[in-house]
Amino acid sequence: LAGILMAGISGSSNADASALGAICLRALKKGGYEDGWASAIVVSAAGIGPIIPPSIIMIVYANATGLDIGKLFAAGILPGVLLGICYMVTGVIYAKKRNIPKIPFQGLKHVGKTFVRAIWALLMPIIIIGGILGGFFTATECGVIATLYGIAYGLIARRLKVREIWDSLRDGIIAAVGPISLIAISSIFSYMLAREGVTGAIADFVTNNIHSQFGVLAFVSIICIIAGCFVDGTATMLLLTPIFLPVVQAMNIDVLQFSMIFMIVIMSGGMTPPVGSMLFIISGIDGTPISRMVKPIIPFMLALIVVVILLMLIPDIASFIPGMLYGA
């Protein structure tokens, strides 16, 4: 649940891993969870970040494909919640098997006080998602408005110094260089693939040898999961999108259905060794070796695969909310 809420604020799995790791790891271990399992729970929860809007990787994906960011955001709501529920069930099963005691409820008064303290932060995703879905501003304008809102709140609440604003701007510029460079390179890569006929050849191969939409989606998912084990998620997305999107369109697969499956399987790369970024972040926070997270992460990967299969079988999971908001 914390992962779902954090996903609505940060939009980044790595940022969620850092925040949840700092907050939840100690509490989980104190509650009786083994080191590896505590880390696996936090890693899986952080992985929901790119699915539930607002999502940084969805914005990059929309820029690379030309798809409507509002529809992508809307399409991610149900799959993200479903993924969170499956993770919750996995965690509950583990807790019951290990007889981990329940944490006592601290009362509605405590919940109310906490909510009041967090209300200004919780308004951030409402402004972002509501603004984009309502058509008030674009994703780029939304980023500016959200930044100004955060700066204004930080200054008014006296939690932010002017010096820290400049430091944040510098860090933001440095952080943006990587994705922007990848987008530029992927555009060149996409152009070269199309010019040399690679995209068409792959599309012909897949459509001639795989005759069902489920088979195509399963094939794409397997390739993405394997690639995600060795390449960063954003890079994987930008490299594979120009290859697989034409194939999906040739098979008349719902683009929103494909996009959500694509996002989830790419996100899973951050949960898997040897280069899973979230594993390294959590290991750096509490010192748990990555080798001790590998076995506990397997049940959560199985839960993720269940969600992916459901998305393959039931396209409406991704298209229902966009259909309600934007029409067929």
Going from the C-alpha of 185 to that of each of 178, 190, 193, 245, the distances in angstroms are: 11, 9, 12, 17
Distance between CA atoms of residues 100 and 28, nearest Å:
10
- Over the chain, what is the mean pLDDT? 80
The residue behind tokens 């959590």 is 282
The residue behind tokens 């919780």 is 122
Q: Is the dihedral of CA 156, 167, 73, 115 positive or negative?
A: negative
Query: What does the buried/exposed string (b/e) look like for 210-239 if buried means 16 or more CB atoms within 10 Å of the residue's CB?
Result: beebeebbbebbeebbebbeebbbbbbbbb
The number of residues making up the chain comes to 328
Per-residue model confidence as pLDDT tens digits over 22-63: 777 777 777 777 878 888 888 888 888 778 887 778 888 888
* Residue ranges making up the domain that contains 230: 2-326
pLDDT of res. 20: 74
**CB–CB of 118/42 below 8 Å?**
no
pLDDT of res. 256: 92
User: Does the pLDDT at position 278 exceed 80?
Assistant: no
User: Does the pLDDT at position 156 exceed 80?
Assistant: yes
User: Does the pLDDT at position 312 exceed 90?
Assistant: yes
Question: In percent, how much of the chain has pLDDT > 90?
Answer: 10
Comparing 94 with 140, the larger pLDDT belongs to 94
Per-residue model confidence as pLDDT tens digits over 196-246: 777 677 777 877 888 888 998 998 888 888 877 777 777 778 778 888 888
Mean pLDDT of 183-196: 71
Per-residue model confidence as pLDDT tens digits over 259-272: 999 989 988 877 87
Please count the structural domains in the chain: 1
Res. 186 pLDDT band, cuts 50 70 90 = low
Q: Which residue type does 151 have? A: I
pLDDT of res. 255: 92
pLDDT of res. 8: 56
> In what helix (H) or strand (E) does residue 134 lie, and over which residues does it extend?
none
User: Does the pLDDT at position 12 exceed 70?
Assistant: no
Going from the C-alpha of 197 to that of each of 10, 183, 223, 242, 314, the distances in angstroms are: 39, 21, 20, 12, 32
What pTM, to 2 d.p., does this model score?
A: 0.76
For residue 222, give the nearest of 317, 312, 327 by alpha carbon.
312
User: Does the pLDDT at position 141 exceed 80?
Assistant: no
Three-state secondary-structure class, residue 3: helix
Comparing 147 with 298, the larger pLDDT belongs to 298
